[in-house]
Amino acid sequence: MTQFFADIAPITYQGPDTANALAFRHYNPNEVVLGKRMEDHLRFAVAYWHSFAWEGGDPFGAQTFERPWHPQDQMDRAKIKADAAFEMFDILGQPYFCWHDADIRPEGADFAGSLRNFEEIIDYFLGKMESRKTRLLWGTANMFSHRRWMSGASTNPDPDVFAYSAATVKTCMDATHKMGGENYVLWGGREGYETLLNTDLTRELDHMGRFLSMVVDYKHKIGFKGTILVEPKPQEPSKHQYDFDAATCIGFLRKYGLEGEVKLNLEQGHAILAGHSFEHEVAVAAAEGMLGSIDMNRNDYQSGWDTDQFPNNVPEVALTYYHILRAGGLGTGGTNFDAKLRRQSLDAKDLIAAHVGAMDICARGLKAAAAMIEDGGLDAALRDRYAGWDSNDAQEMLNSDFDSIFANVVSGKINPQPRSGRQEILENYVNRFV
């Protein structure tokens, strides 16, 4: 056992009135909400990269964190990092975690060397998981940090990088499968461009489509039953990322015939960067049956980059879970915190508290969403507003043509009268629950 979290006891549910900074006030895993345990609704996951691999740097500053597993270039320290991570999973009672290959293993001298390191650490993880409840929500490949990916992975102008990417994803899918992961995620942070001047957009999109088809083929070949997910983000690090937002990804999947095979991992911060609310992105994916999983980390509304902060606004989180619950829940997905501490939050206690607070916010949001669903007020308002479309006349009209509709309108039979959209009343309604 490491000493990193030595002073911190497992977090317990103590109810809304506790002043204990390290207790759950709302997250009570076994509490039943809409007929299901809260833990089974929320399916929380820790993001290994932000919580354990990120060292506190930003574009203007170096490392601020000093961890027992620094520097992260040796296998023995990778194991110390894993020890601390699983200790945190235990403290939080976390059901899931997620990794990139590069978070968990030191880079090797070459591909084969990196792979050996990776396989060794996967086995080390598996040993830890034997006696624990924590499972893998998803694995993914880091194909953006090393300089070889600077011009993209599957969309790289150099076919050798495509090859290196394919080999990398294969190993990450193998590891995810071996660990019983429930999803496999692709985030294409470098799949985009810095300038159109040096970019063959058509060719790159075709290569990305082909790559994703290979992912799907490989999934079936190895019998992986999890869900393949892509994660939209409009930009950063690229000036433009091909997986811009949910609608763009869905269009891309449909173009390459993958709409039945791939779903979306949506992140609140990325929604905001793309000019959307998070509930918009969730609703768009849900409308197409492509809601896969969520990264429930917020962006600062005054910052133009991805701040990846732990969620802290219940009203926003509640609307997200409302749309998730209406879509039937998260399925094989979960609530991942793709969130990092602020770089001034140096202490182990900060790391625990950040997760505790985030889990509580999500629990409050979930309960508010469930209460709205049980109350039924929003559903009733929607049914009422669109009731006209439920008539036979309306459906016949919808299936007719311009000429017949025109005849009805020009005769004066149809003269539509506006009705209030009642937005403020509905917003007030939501505020009864959050």
Task: Just list the catalytic residues.
Answer: 100, 103
Closest CA to 422 of 367, 391, 377, 373: 377
Residue 223 in the binding site for its own copies (CB under 8 A): no
Q: How many chain residues interact with its own copies (CB under 8 A)?
A: 156
Residue 148 in the binding site for its own copies (CB under 8 A): yes
Nearer Cβ to its own copies (135/204): 204
Contact window for Co ion (CB under 5 A) among 36-44, 115-123, 163-171, 338-346: 338-346
Q: Residue 203 binds which entry of Co ion, its own copies, none, with Cβ cut-offs from 5 to 8 Å by kind?
A: its own copies
Q: Residue 295 binds which entry of Co ion, its own copies, none, with Cβ cut-offs from 5 to 8 Å by kind?
A: Co ion
Residue 267 in the binding site for Co ion (CB under 5 A): yes
Q: How far is the CB of 431 from its own copies (least distance, A)?
A: 6
Pairing of strands 192-193, 240-241: antiparallel
Whether a cis peptide bond, with omega within 30° of 0, leads into 237 is: yes
Residue 52 in the binding site for its own copies (CB under 8 A): no
Instruction: Give the C-alpha separation, 376 to 374, whole Å.
Output: 5
Residue 28, Ramachandran bin (φ over 0: left; ψ between -120 and 50: alpha; else beta):
beta
Q: Residue 376 binds which entry of its own copies, Co ion, none, with Cβ cut-offs from 5 to 8 Å by kind?
A: none
26 is in an annotated binding site: no
* Among residues 11, 276, 334, 335, the one that binds its own copies under rule CB under 8 A: 276
Q: Residue 337 is inside which H or E element, if any?
A: strand 335-337
* Among residues 353, 363, 366, 373, the one that binds its own copies under rule CB under 8 A: 353
CB-based contacts of 355: which residues, under 8 Å, 6+ apart?
A: 46, 51, 88, 92, 94, 310, 337
* Among residues 53, 78, 330, 354, the one that binds its own copies under rule CB under 8 A: 354
Structure-block tokens of residue 210: 């082909």
Terminus-to-terminus CA distance in the chain, angstroms? 40
Q: How far is the CB of 269 from its own copies (least distance, A)?
A: 12
Structure-block tokens of residue 223: 């019998």
Instruction: Give the C-alpha separation, 400 to 353, whole Å.
Output: 59
Residue 295 in the binding site for Co ion (CB under 5 A): yes
Rg, Å, the chain Cα set: 24
Residue 280 in the binding site for its own copies (CB under 8 A): yes
Q: Residues 187-216: x/- map of binding to its own copies (CB under 8 A)?
A: --xx---xxxxxxxxxx-x-x--x---xx-
Rounded to an integer, what is the distance from CA 16 to the centroid of its chain?
27
